[in-house]
Amino acid sequence: MPKKALIQGALSTGVIFALSSWMGAMVSVLVLAAAWAVIVTASAAAARKAVEYEVALLTQRLASTRQQAQEIVGEYRAELGAQFHACGNELVQLQQILGDAISTLLSSFNALNDCSATQQRLAVSITRGEAKPGDEQVSVEQFIQETSATLASFVESTVQNSKTAMGLVERIDQAKEQVQVVLRLLREVEGISKQTNMLALNAAIEAARAGEAGRGFAVVAEEVRVLSDRTNQFSQQIRSEIEAVHGSISGAESAINEMASKDMNFALHSKQRAVEMQSGVRKVNEGIAVGVDELGRIARQVEDNVRIAVTALQFQDVTTQLVGHTRARMTELESMMAGLATLPDALELSAGGNAHGQAVLQKMRERVVAARERTSRNPVREGQMDKGGIELF
Amino acid sequence: MSKTILAVDDSPSIRQMVAFTLKGAGYNVLEAEDGQAGLDKAKSSAVNLVLTDQNMPKMDGLTLVKSLRVLPQYATTPILMLTTESSDAMKAQGKAAGATGWLVKPFDPAKLLEVVKKVIG
C-alpha cells in the first residue's frame, strides 16, 4: 500500500528536523503541513479513483439491466400485442357468427309466422265451409238447409195431395150415392114396366072377352106388352152398366185411400228425419263455432310469441355493440403496451434530467387517463334486454 | 296511400325486424345502413317518418337528426330515435337536436306500432 510508506517516511523526516533546531521545528511544521496536504490530496485522489471505479461498475450494471428490461418489455409487448390482436379477431368472428345465425333465424321466423297465418285462415274457412268466390262449391250447411227446404215443400205438397185425395173420396161417395139413386129409379122403372106388363095382360084378356070388337084392342095390348119387355131389357142393361160403374168408382176410391195413406206416412217419416238431421247439424255448427274460437285463441297466442321472439332476437344488435366496446378496450390496451415499451429509455433519459425523457413519461401518464375516458361509456347497460322504454318529447 | 317510413340502423337484423313489424301493419318501409345513406335516401324519397339508431359509422343518429331538421321538407317530420342508449343526458341531446321521441332497444313490436300509429296514423 503506497499510503503507509509515505506516512512512515514523512514521520521519520519530521523527527530528524524537530531534533535539530527550533527554526528547524518551524520549518518542519511547515513541511509537516505540506506533507499532510499531499497526503490528503493523494488520499482524495485515491478515493475518487475508487468512486470512479464503482461508478463505472454501476453504469455497466445499469446498462445491462436496461438492455434486459428492454428485451423483456419488447418480448411482452410483442406477445401481448399478438394476444390482443387475436382477441380482436375472435370477437369479430363472434359477431359474424351471431350475425349470420340471427339473419337465418329471422328469415325462418318470418316464414313460420306467415305459414301460421295462412294455416289459420285456411282452417277457419274449411270449418265454416265457406265457398271461395267464383267456385261452384256448396257448403254442408247450405246443402242441409236446401234439402230441408225441399223436404218441407215435399211434405207440404203431400199434405195437399192428401187433402185433395180426401176431397176426391168425398166426390166419389157423392157419385156412389147418385148411382144408388139411379138404381132406385131403375127399380121404379122396372116396377112400372112390370105393372105395364100386367095391364097389357089384363087388357088382352078383356080384349079376348070382347070378341071381334076387341081385336084391335088386343093388338094394342100386345104392342104395349112388347114395349114393356123392351123397357125391362133396357133397364137390365142400364142396371148392369151402372153396377159396373159403381165397381170402378169403388176401386178408384180404395186405390186413392191406399195411396193417400202411404204418402202421408212417408211424408211424416221424412219430416221427422229432417228435424233430426237439423238438430244434428245444429250440434255440428256449435262444435265448429267452439273450434273456430279455439283456432282464434291459438292464432293470438302465436302472434304473442312472435312478438316476444322479435323482441328477444334483437339481442344480436345489443351484443354486437357490447363486443365493439370490448374491442375498443383492447385497442387501448395494445396502445398502452406500445407506450410501456418506451419506458426503459424514457426512464434513463429522464433520470439524466433530459426534457424529452420527462415529456415521454408525462405522455405515458396522460395515456392512462385517456384510455380510461375513451372506454368509460358502454353503449349497453346492465339489464339492457329487460326493458325498452318509449318517450315522446 | 300507405305512409312511408325510413329505418336507419347499421344492424341488418334490426332493419329486418323493423321492416317485418311495420310492413305487416301496411306501411311502406325504406332502409339505410348509416346516417349518410339515411340522409341521401330522405332527400331522394318523400318519407313520412324517420326511425334511426344512434351509434352508426359515417354519421351518427343525432347528426342525422340535425341534418334533416335543416331541410325544409323535414322541418316537422316525426323523427324517432331507436337505440340502446338510455341515459337522460343522451335523451336531452336528442330532444335538443330535434328528435320527436326516444325508443330504447330492445323494442316490443306492439309498442313500436302503437307509437308509429300515434305519430303518423
Contact A102, A372 (CB under 8 A): no
Task: Judge whether residue A272 has pLDDT over 90.
Answer: no
Q: Which of B20, B84, B100 sits opposite A392 (nearest CB)?
A: B100
What does the mean pLDDT of chain A come to? 84
Q: Kindly calculate the radius of gyration of chain A based on its CA atoms and give it in whole angstroms.
A: 73
Q: Which of residues 32-91 of A touch B (CB under 8 A)?
A: none
Is the distance from CB of A255 to CB of A168 less than 8 angstroms?
no
If you search the block for the grid coordinates 464503482, which residue do you land on?
A: A54
* Exposed e or buried b per residue across A282-303, where buried means at least 16 C-beta atoms within 10 angstroms of its C-beta: eeebeebeeeeeebeeebeebb
Residue A20: CB atoms within 10 Å: 11
Q: What residues have CB less than 8 Å from B107, skipping those under 6 apart?
A: A311, A314, A388, B82
Phi, psi of B111 (to 5 degrees): -70, -35
Provide DSSP, A50-74: HHHHHHHHHHHHHHHHHHHHHHHHH
Confidence of residue A145 (pLDDT cuts 50, 70, 90): confident
Averaged pLDDT for residues B88-113: 93
- Report pLDDT for A287: 84
Whether chain B has a CB inside 8 Å of the CB on A386: the answer is no
pLDDT at A129: 65
Per-residue pLDDT, A140: 67
Residue A303 at interface with chain B, using a CB cutoff of 8 Å: no
- What distance in Å separates the CA atoms of residue A63 and residue B112, rounded to the nearest whole number? 68
Specify the amino acid at residue A322. L
Distance in angstroms (rounded) separating the CA atoms of residues B117 and A186: 104
Residues 6+ apart with CB under 8 A from A319: A95, A98
In this complex, do A314 and B14 lie within 8 Å of one another by their Cβ atoms? yes
CB-based contact, B14 to chain A, within 8 Å? yes
Question: At residue B30, does pLDDT exceed 90?
Answer: yes
Q: Looking at the predicted structure, is the pLDDT value of residue A179 above 60?
A: yes
Residue A388: list chain B partners with CB under 8 A: 103-108, 111
Q: What is the pLDDT of residue B90?
A: 92
For the segment A13-39, the average pLDDT, to the nearest whole number, is: 82
Q: Does B103 touch chain A (CB under 8 A)?
A: yes
Read off the pLDDT of residues B35-93 as tens digits, 9 standing for 90 and up. 999 999 999 999 999 999 999 999 999 999 999 999 999 999 999 999 998 889 999 99
CB contact under 8 A, A106 and B17: yes
- What is the pLDDT at residue A123? 81
**Which chain A residues have a beta carbon less than 8 Å from that of B108?**
307, 311, 388
Q: What is the pLDDT of residue A264?
A: 77
A382 near B CB under 8 A: no
* Cα distance between residue B98 and residue B92, in whole Å: 10
Q: What is the pLDDT of residues A51-60, one digit of tens each?
A: 999 999 998 9
Dihedral sign, CA of A93, A95, A96, A98? Answer: positive
Using the Cβ of A389 and the Cβ atoms of chain B, whether some distance falls under 8 Å is answered with yes
Q: What residues contact A343, with CB distance under 8 A and at least 6 apart?
A: A73, A364
Note whether A14 and A28 are within 8 A (CB).
yes
Position A137 scores a pLDDT of 56
pLDDT of residue A63: 85
Q: Is the peptide bond before B106 cis (omega within 30 degrees of 0)?
A: yes
Q: Report the share of chain A in percent with pLDDT over 90.
A: 15
Whole-number pLDDT of residue B44: 95
pLDDT digits (tens, 9 = 90+) for A147-163: 778 878 888 888 888 88
Backbone angles phi, psi at A132, to 5 degrees: -80, 145
Could you tell me if A168 and A256 are in contact, meaning their C-beta atoms sit under 8 angstroms apart? Answer: yes
Cell numbers standing for residue A393: 318529447
Q: Do B101 and A320 touch (CB under 8 A)?
A: no
Which of A57-61, A136-140, A216-220 shows the lowest mean pLDDT across its residues? A136-140
Contact yes or no for B6/B44 (Cβ under 8 A): no
pLDDT at residue A131 above 70?
A: no
Cα A270 to Cα A268: distance, rounded to the nearest angstrom: 5
CA A138, A139, A140, A144 dihedral sign is negative
A-chain CB neighbours of B12 within 8 Å are 99, 103
Predicted local distance difference test score (pLDDT) of residue A130 = 61
Q: Predicted confidence band at A136 (pLDDT cuts at 50, 70, 90)?
A: low
